Homo-oligomer: A and B are copies of this chain.
């Protein structure tokens, strides 16, 4: 009997199977502070109880991406310990606000399985739900990963690939927002005067700043999320691996891009949904991350007075300032883009 968790291989997953993940995690004020120290986010709603209360929150909610990383981390030992690549995300929705003191747990349903033609790997599609201590779903998302087979000759199940939407509609957003009175939004304190109507579809925003990442930082972050993917931590093994170095958790890049995005999207206080995301290239310690965004859609939130939503494509780059918006599509001849994230943010109208 193997007491050391070997992780699941492609053959171990069954369509419709629901995996309850270890380890539940109470999120507290310490996680909030560490998240601040790791990324330097400055969105006022998450930063200050007083600001959050003024518009209707009971207290400052936990940063949406911190919730995402905590839930994601729990899935790693069961879903992606033997993964070769994290292929994509879809239909990610934030459904309830999370506050300090809440305890998050997670489960994943296997919604698709497809062996690759080489017979060595397969793609596993999971819908993961993060829940609070009351059993309420606070987050739901689909991801798909390429997972090794334990045995190349094992028979593959019939291929099932779920139909996934490329984008959520504005009408589906806002479930994680309590009733808010946006008349009390204070632009001086939020750091931006920009409202929904100030953004135009097609507009591009250089977020300007660059942030260099150190080994200690991404490892602190990834351990904070109890994410056990081995490639992030073990230099002894990675020295002999594909890159010769520890690979930085892709979610670390997402949070860096979001924090950099304050400069240009400072009033976009809530991530309501992630339509899709792709880790185009890896990031290693010593690299400096920049980001720029393109506005893809803009809409009021139906039946939510004072609130609107922007669909944004944010691209993060490595060692490449974004004042030229270097590329729309990362291609081998236009290196530098490491992340493409298509998501919906909520801001005052």
- Name the residue of chain B whose CB is nearest to the CB of A215: B214
B207 touches A288 (CB 8 A): no
Contacts of A30 in B (CB 8 A): 28-34
A44 touches B22 (CB 8 A): yes
B205 touches A3 (CB 8 A): yes
Separation of A174 and B321 alpha carbons in the complex (Å): 48
Q: Looking at the assembled complex, report how far the CB atom of A108 sits from the nearest CB atom of chain B, in whole angstroms.
A: 12
Contacts of A321 in B (CB 8 A): 236-237
B26 touches A42 (CB 8 A): no
Q: Give the segment of A142-150, A222-230, A297-305 that binds chain B.
A: A222-230
Which residue of the partner chain, among B4, B33, B246, contacts A207 with CB atoms under 8 Å?
B4
Interface flag for A274 (CB, 8 Å): no
Chain A interface helix/strand/loop/mixed = mixed
Interface flag for A191 (CB, 8 Å): yes
Separation of A29 and B211 alpha carbons in the complex (Å): 26
Interface flag for A189 (CB, 8 Å): yes
Number of copies: 3
Interface flag for A1 (CB, 8 Å): yes
B228 touches A209 (CB 8 A): yes
Interface flag for A39 (CB, 8 Å): yes
Contacts of A50 in B (CB 8 A): 24, 26, 103, 105, 133
Q: Which of A23, A28, A133, A189 has the most CB of B within 10 A?
A: A23
CB interface residues, A 187-209, toward B, < 8 Å: 188-192, 194, 198, 205-209
The 4 A-B pairs with the shortest beta carbon distances in the complex, nearest first, are A30-B33, A22-B191, A40-B223, A24-B48
Which residues on A are within 8 Å of B, measured CB to CB? 1, 3-5, 20-26, 28-34, 36-40, 42-44, 47-51, 60, 77, 100-101, 103, 105, 133, 188-192, 194, 198, 205-212, 214-217, 219-224, 226, 228, 230, 233-237, 246, 263-266, 286, 288, 290, 319, 321
Given A50-B133, A210-B237, 4 more pairs with CB closer than 8 A: A4-B206, A22-B44, A40-B233, A209-B233
